[in-house]
Amino acid sequence: MSGSNPRVVLDACVLFPALLRDTLLRVAEAGLYEARWSLEILDEVQRNLVATGRVTQERARHLLDAMTRAFPEALVTGWEAALPETRNHPKDRHVVAAAIKARAQYVVTNNLRDFRQRDMPPRIMAASPDLLLVSLLQERPRELLELLRRQAAGHIRRPISLQQLILGLDRAGLSTFAGVAAEALWVEIHGERPKLPDEVRAKLDQLRARGKAATPAEQLDAYRAVRAARVLPPEAAMFLIAVTLDDEFFLDALGEVPELKPVDEQLRKLEKAYGLKDDEYWPIGEAPEEIEKVRAEWEAVAERAKIAFFRSRGESELATLMEREPALYEQLLEVGRRYFHGGEHLSVLLQ
């Protein structure tokens, strides 16, 4: 998520929890992104607040009136004309239509299953609030930390510390953001990242000394030690382990998946029938329909095999996340990747 002031449609589910709503709206008010919603989204928020007994009908109406007064530019109208362009889950198509009408870059939701990226229009990404806030924190850390300080000081019942607020955000489901914010706070106070324990640094030094001769098992052992030391944001540690297992799977294990062989043969036969040479290929989405179907089957088989491979290497939690919440899995990987800022992983860890 890059660029200044991205435009974001906020789904009802991220405006329902009080702490998450307060955080998202404060960040928007500070000008770090442009918030957008429709009357349909606000009506859903109101219904859920009242139905769950959080507030009375009158209090809910007062809350939404205050939101519309604070963000008069946020209301999206005329979105109905964009409905034919939407392909996501029918009950949530009005949200994507609002994003199209608003020319938003993102739909922020906790319900990524109903906003699968392959169903989203071009140039609009479905993202979790965790990803939005982490991306903004990475781009503008000082502003966001100061904003969180003001949020903690203005807590509705009594002022709380910034650390208490971060813990509350973690409990509210913003675990990645809370982890990155806690590290940013540590760096601001101490002037450096949390230090690696000596035994973990020794493993990493040994891994660097081994260079290309290091085995996947040695890499995995070292990165699991980093994860256990809890000196990185959890998604940065997740990224190290996932990338290591990805490399091992695609380099060593993929060719041994028996279910892929008939799909490979079918794909080669089709490509030959269409006159494709060995050094030629169609970009994704541009091949004939029957080839695209076989490609999709190949990817599905490979993905199931990769999930099984992760489990066989003792990473059942990652495998389950990949299986049940693939969009969230990819977004968390992206958050972890950004921690290293494109640098060589060991160099960043040992600096």
Q: Residue 175 falls within a domain, yes or no?
A: no
Q: How many domains are there within the chain? A: 2
Same domain (yes/no): 327, 208: yes
Q: Residue 227 falls within a domain, yes or no?
A: yes
What is residue 342's predicted lDDT score, i.e. its pLDDT?
60
pTM score above 0.85:
no
Mean pLDDT across the chain, nearest whole number? 89
What is residue 291's predicted lDDT score, i.e. its pLDDT?
87
Higher model confidence: residue 45 or residue 186? 45
Higher model confidence: residue 97 or residue 339? 97
Tokens for 202, please give them: 């020794």
pLDDT classification of 343: cutoffs 50, 70, 90: low
Q: Residue 2 falls within a domain, yes or no?
A: no
Contact between residue 106 and residue 45 where contact means Cβ atoms under 8 Å apart: no
Q: Residue 191 falls within a domain, yes or no?
A: no
Give, in order, the Cα–Cα distances in Å from 13 to each of 50, 55, 174, 211. Answer: 14, 16, 14, 47
The CATH number that applies at residue 26 is 3.40.50.1010
Same domain (yes/no): 103, 239: no
> At which of 137, 153, 176 does a domain end?
137
Same domain (yes/no): 343, 213: yes
> At which of 137, 163, 183 does a domain end?
137
Q: What is the mean pLDDT of residues 208-234?
A: 91
Same domain (yes/no): 32, 108: yes
What is residue 341's predicted lDDT score, i.e. its pLDDT?
62
Higher model confidence: residue 272 or residue 17? 17
What is residue 138's predicted lDDT score, i.e. its pLDDT?
87
d(CA 249, CA 310): 9
Same domain (yes/no): 131, 244: no
Same domain (yes/no): 126, 235: no
pLDDT in tens, 27-86: 999 999 999 999 999 999 999 999 999 899 999 999 999 999 999 999 999 999 999 999
Residue 209 has pLDDT above 80, yes or no: yes
Residue 115 has pLDDT above 80, yes or no: yes
Percent of the chain with pLDDT over 70: 96
Residue 347 has pLDDT above 90, yes or no: no
Domain interval for residue 207: 198-350
Q: Residue 148 falls within a domain, yes or no?
A: no
What is residue 263's predicted lDDT score, i.e. its pLDDT?
87
Give, in order, the Cα–Cα distances in Å from 296 to each of 38, 289, 303, 306, 307. Answer: 35, 10, 10, 15, 17
pLDDT classification of 241: cutoffs 50, 70, 90: very high
Q: Residue 173 falls within a domain, yes or no?
A: no
Q: Residue 185 falls within a domain, yes or no?
A: no
Tally Cβ neighbours within 10 Å of residue 289.
Answer: 6
Higher model confidence: residue 173 or residue 20? 20
Q: Residue 186 falls within a domain, yes or no?
A: no
Residue 1 has pLDDT above 60, yes or no: no
Same domain (yes/no): 45, 116: yes
Same domain (yes/no): 118, 206: no
pLDDT in tens, 131-156: 999 999 988 988 999 999 999 998 76
Same domain (yes/no): 220, 345: yes
Percent of the chain with pLDDT over 90: 57
Higher model confidence: residue 213 or residue 158? 213
> At which of 137, 161, 179 does a domain end?
137
Query: How many residues are recorded in the chain?
Result: 351
pLDDT in tens, 285-317: 778 888 888 888 988 999 999 999 999 999 999
Same domain (yes/no): 118, 248: no
Higher model confidence: residue 285 or residue 87? 87
Same domain (yes/no): 210, 93: no
Q: Put residue 159 in one of left, alpha, beta given phi > 0 → left and psi -120 to 50 → alpha.
A: beta
Q: What is the mean pLDDT of residues 113-126?
A: 92
Same domain (yes/no): 202, 132: no
What is residue 192's predicted lDDT score, i.e. its pLDDT?
67
